[in-house]
């Protein structure tokens, strides 16, 4: 099942030199009690690298039921206020895009399977999307925005069945890091009662991390792969959120460590907290943001250690980093699908209407100013 990709562009930090070995029958079966596949989450997102380059993943087109929903990738270089369409060509993207960014205009993108595919194609760029190299994960990546992680140690992929694969930076190919159910069945996983995996990431030192939804109240399911085993590494929640089950919505790299976005509880008492760590052992946790019955429609990261969320009740909230408080943004333009952090604490709102993307910039006066319109050539009916 190994399927080697074509070479990546010059200067790429990671060679996707071999297909994934996921799905092999050699892994022993596990009791049903610890089977925990990956959960799903909204894929619309944006990220801003340490050098200021930004990327946004946006759903566009029409109805998903009629297979007219397409996922597009946009970038805004650090020295520019203008966005560019840079969706990797040649692969159907109705299933969604999952992106992992690094400094230096480097991005890796996994395509969620659609149109009968049973694997996830990969695309990689080292020049801001001007050219793309291709690779392959021979299994479907999970439908969560942090199902792919990249760093100096290589790449991690969270699969739909809850397994985790790792590719090293030396280009030796993909290998199983965690079998489906392995984290849920570990002592650390049983300690939080894992119900599903939600994200993967690397620490700055290259330690693999995995995140989960947990049934045990007050326990944030973040696990570090150390000494060949998965160890609990998440923050401890206090106050009213300590009595609620916790789901890790996002786990990403930040300026000096890692950033996690956690949802505690559901229904009227639900809340969000952001948490930051420099080395994975000590966490700084934000004040809670009450969201009630609202759902998170999109989320992302900004420069430094910032994060933002777009909620189904129309609110957009952002937090600048450790020690900061949540801040509500002005009412969003109609059709806003995702946000993106801009320079000097500003924000862009990316609004969608069919195949038209309108970029609005938040002015210092607190209003949204239309700044750019991009017409995307949507091929309606091409997926049916």
Among 240, 242, 247, residue whose Cα is nearest residue 40 = 247
Average pLDDT over residues 171-179: 86
Among 292, 348, 294, 293, residue whose Cα is nearest residue 318 = 348
Percent over 70 (pLDDT), the chain: 88
Reported as a single tens digit per residue, the pLDDT across 14-43 is: 333 333 333 333 333 333 445 678 888 899
pTM of the model: 0.88
Q: And the tokens for 175?
A: 């290998």
Tokens 């996994």 label which residue? Answer: 110
Q: And the tokens for 335?
A: 């059709």
Cα angle 252-258-263, degrees, rounded to a multiple of 5: 65
Cα angle 306-311-313, degrees, rounded to a multiple of 5: 145
pLDDT of residue 86: 96
Fold for the domain defined by 32-375: Methylamine Dehydrogenase; Chain H (2.130.10)
Q: And the tokens for 230?
A: 């998965």
Laid out side by side, the sheet with 327-328 consists of: 296-301, 307-311, 316-319, 327-328
Q: Phi, psi (5° rounding) for residue 366? A: 90, 20
CA–CA separation, 61 and 68 (whole Å): 6
pLDDT of residue 64: 64
CA–CA separation, 210 and 232 (whole Å): 10
More confident position, 186 or 115? 186
Reported as a single tens digit per residue, the pLDDT across 141-165 is: 999 999 999 988 899 999 999 999 9
pLDDT of residue 50: 78
Q: And the tokens for 74?
A: 């946009």
Average pLDDT over residues 250-268: 91
Whether 175 and 121 have beta carbons less than 8 Å apart is answered as no
Beta bridge partners of 301: 307
Encode 234-267 in three state secondary structure. Answer: CCECCHHHHHCCEEEEEEEECCCCEEEEEEECCH
End-to-end CA distance of the chain: 28
DSSP 183: H
Average pLDDT over residues 283-297: 95
Strand 336-341 vs strand 296-301: parallel, antiparallel, or unpaired? unpaired
Q: And the tokens for 46?
A: 């944006």
Among 44, 8, 20, 16, residue whose Cα is nearest residue 311 = 44
Cβ neighbors of 222 (< 8 A, separation 6 or more) are: 209, 210, 211, 212, 232, 233, 234, 235, 248, 251, 260
- The answer to whether residue 6 scores a pLDDT higher than 50 is no
Reported as a single tens digit per residue, the pLDDT across 338-374 is: 999 987 778 999 999 999 999 999 999 999 999 999 9
Percent over 90 (pLDDT), the chain: 66
Reported as a single tens digit per residue, the pLDDT across 111-134 is: 998 877 889 999 999 999 999 999
Domain extent listing, the chain:
32-375
Strand 97-102 vs strand 296-301: parallel, antiparallel, or unpaired? unpaired
Cβ neighbors of 24 (< 8 A, separation 6 or more) are: 1, 176
DSSP 367: -
Reported as a single tens digit per residue, the pLDDT across 54-111 is: 999 999 987 765 568 899 999 999 888 999 999 999 888 899 999 998 877 889 999 9
Q: What value does the mean pLDDT of the chain take? A: 86
Average pLDDT over residues 272-284: 88
pLDDT of residue 9: 34
pLDDT band at 207 (very low <50, low <70, confident <90, very high): very high
pLDDT band at 292 (very low <50, low <70, confident <90, very high): very high
CA distances from 111 to 89, 202, 354 (A): 11, 21, 21
- The answer to whether residue 255 scores a pLDDT higher than 80 is no
Q: Which helix (H) or strand (E) holds 274?
A: strand 271-277
Q: What is the DSSP string of 79-98?
A: T-S--EE-PPSSS--TT-EE
Q: And the tokens for 301?
A: 């990261």
């Amino acid at each position: 099942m190994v399927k080697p990709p074509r070479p990546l562009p010059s200067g790429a930090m990671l060679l996707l030199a071999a297909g994934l070995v996921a799905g092999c029958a050699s892994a022993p079966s596990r009791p049903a009690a610890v089977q925990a596949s990956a959960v799903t989450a909204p894929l619309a997102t944006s990220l801003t690298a340490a050098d200021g380059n930004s990327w946004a993943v946006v759903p566009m087109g029409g109805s998903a039921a009629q297979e007219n929903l397409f996922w597009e990738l946009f970038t805004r270089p650090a020295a520019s206020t203008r966005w560019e369409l840079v969706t990797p060509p040649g692969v159907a993207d109705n299933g969604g895009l999952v992106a992992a960014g690094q400094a230096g205009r480097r991005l890796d993108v996994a395509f969620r399977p659609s149109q009968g595919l049973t694997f996830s194609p990969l695309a990689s760029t080292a020049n801001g999307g001007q050219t793309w190299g291709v690779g392959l994960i021979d299994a479907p990546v999970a439908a969560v925005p942090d199902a792919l992680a990249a760093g100096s140690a290589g790449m991690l992929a969270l699969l739909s069945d809850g397994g985790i694969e790792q590719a090293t930076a030396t280009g030796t190919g993909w290998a199983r890091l965690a079998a489906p159910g392995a984290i849920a069945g570990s002592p650390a996983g049983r300690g939080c009662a894992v119900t599903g995996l939600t994200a993967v990431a690397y620490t700055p030192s290259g330690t693999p991390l995995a995140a989960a939804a947990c049934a045990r109240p007050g326990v944030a399911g973040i696990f570090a792969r150390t000494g060949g085993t998965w160890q609990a590494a998440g923050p401890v929640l206090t106050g009213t959120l300590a009595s609620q089950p916790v789901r890790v919505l996002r786990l990403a790299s930040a300026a000096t460590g890692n950033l996690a976005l956690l949802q505690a509880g559901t229904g009227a008492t639900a809340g969000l907290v952001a948490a930051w760590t420099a080395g994975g052992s000590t966490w700084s946790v934000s004040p809670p943001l009450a969201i009630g019955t609202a759902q998170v429609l999109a989320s992302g990261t900004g420069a430094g250690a910032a994060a933002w969320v777009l909620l189904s009740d129309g609110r957009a909230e952002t937090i600048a980093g450790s020690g900061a408080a949540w801040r509500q943004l002005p009412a969003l333009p109609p059709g806003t699908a995702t946000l993106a952090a801009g320079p000097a604490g500003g924000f862009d709102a990316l609004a969608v209407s069919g195949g038209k993307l309108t970029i609005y910039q938040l002015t210092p006066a607190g209003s949204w100013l239309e700044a750019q319109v991009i017409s995307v050539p949507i091929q309606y009916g091409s997926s049916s």
